[in-house]
Amino acid sequence: MNIDTPAIVCALRTHAEHGAVVRLMTPKDGLQAAYVRGARGRRMRPVLVPGNLVQARLRSRTEEQLAHAEVELEHSRAPLITEPLPAAAIDWVTALTAAALPEGQPYPRLYDALDALLALIEAAPSALGWSSLLVRYELLLLAELGFGLDLETCAVTGSNDGLVAVSPGSGRAVSAAEAEPYAGKLLILPRFVREGGPASWEDIRDGLVLSGHFLSRDILTGRVSGLGEARSRLVGRILRAGGI
């Protein structure tokens, strides 16, 4: 392996006395794990903060060998550590990315979406400015891993008009007329999920419930089930920020 690439720091696990295994999300090579010598030292600790954008040089003699990496800071989001809600959001999306994705598989759409989400978390004055993109990132991750929702047409009629709900079982959209008899049993489909555009706090709540249901069912299982608690805490903070 010989990779020189921009990357987003997603996770860090201490290894040996001074080093750490770092998981980096890259544009062309997906999630990459590498050993960074001196990662716990004074110089490298501020560089290897989840959410930071870095330039990484990864080297290994064989594909099976853990790569060694040299990492240089390109853009730091470490100042957001002191802001509880943005910090929690960054911790969640980077941890989700590191835990859910297989290593070495390219996901360029996810890299671009993660980069855009982190930039918006950093720039937006409140969670209302980035929470809709968080929902869309979670849904994109589900889709990229083969668990995408079918939100194009109604599961019953095949029409693409008036889609307002999603079946929690099939993940397919349902139109207003067909959803009415099942009120309370279907998940709400906020308009911004299909069409983009602005979202209210109520839309954000419904979007987080929608993506959270399928994340819990299809991704946050087994060894990563504990991540669900971190997401629940983040969702609670987002909704309290919106007065919900």
pTM of the model: 0.95
**β partners of residue 150:** 172
Give the pair of three-digit tokens for residue 224. Answer: 């990563």
User: What percent of the chain is helix, strand and coil (3-state, nearest 5)?
Assistant: 40, 25, 35
Query: If you average pLDDT over residues 111-117, what whole number do you get?
Result: 98
Same domain, 152 and 228: yes
Q: Is 13 part of any domain?
A: yes
Q: Which two tokens stand for residue 173?
A: 């959209």
Q: How confident is the model at residue 41 (pLDDT cuts 50, 70, 90)?
A: confident
Question: Is 87 within the bounds of a domain?
Answer: no
Residue 105 lies in a domain: no
Q: How far apart are CA 14 and CA 6, in angstroms?
A: 22
Count of CB atoms situated within 10 Å of the CB of 100: 20
Q: Would you say residue 110 lies in a domain?
A: no
The verdict on 129 and 59 lying in the same domain is no
Given 62, 79, 96, the domain boundary residue is 79
Tally of domains within the chain:
2
- The per-residue pLDDT for 1 is 82
Instruction: Give yes or no for a contact between 40 and 18, defined as CB atoms under 8 angstroms apart.
Output: yes
Least confident of 8-22, 87-101, 135-149: 8-22
- The whole-number pLDDT of residue 40 equals 83
CATH of the domain at 50: 2.40.50.140
Please check whether residue 133 lies inside any domain of the structure: yes
| Beta-bridge partner residues of 54 | 7, 73
Domain that holds residue 205: 124-241
Q: Do the Cβ atoms of 193 and 143 come closer than 8 Å?
A: no
What's the confidence (pLDDT) of residue 131?
97
Better-predicted residue by pLDDT, 167 or 1: 167
Yes or no: say if 101 and 94 are a contact pair by the CB < 8 Å rule: no
Asked if the structure places residue 107 within a domain, the reply is no
Instruction: Tell me, rounded to whole angstroms, the distance of Cα 65 from its chain centroid.
Output: 27
Say how far apart CA 168 and CA 29 lie, in whole Å.
Answer: 33
What SS3 class is residue 49?
coil
Instruction: Specify whether 130 is located in the same domain as 205.
Output: yes
Q: Do 205 and 144 share a domain, yes or no?
A: yes
Reading the block at residue 232, the tokens are: 């629940």
Dihedrals phi, psi of 32, to nearest 5 degrees: -125, 135
> Where among 79, 101, 133 does a domain terminate?
79
**pLDDT tens across 228-242, in order?**
999 999 999 999 999
Q: Is residue 89 a part of any domain in this protein?
A: no
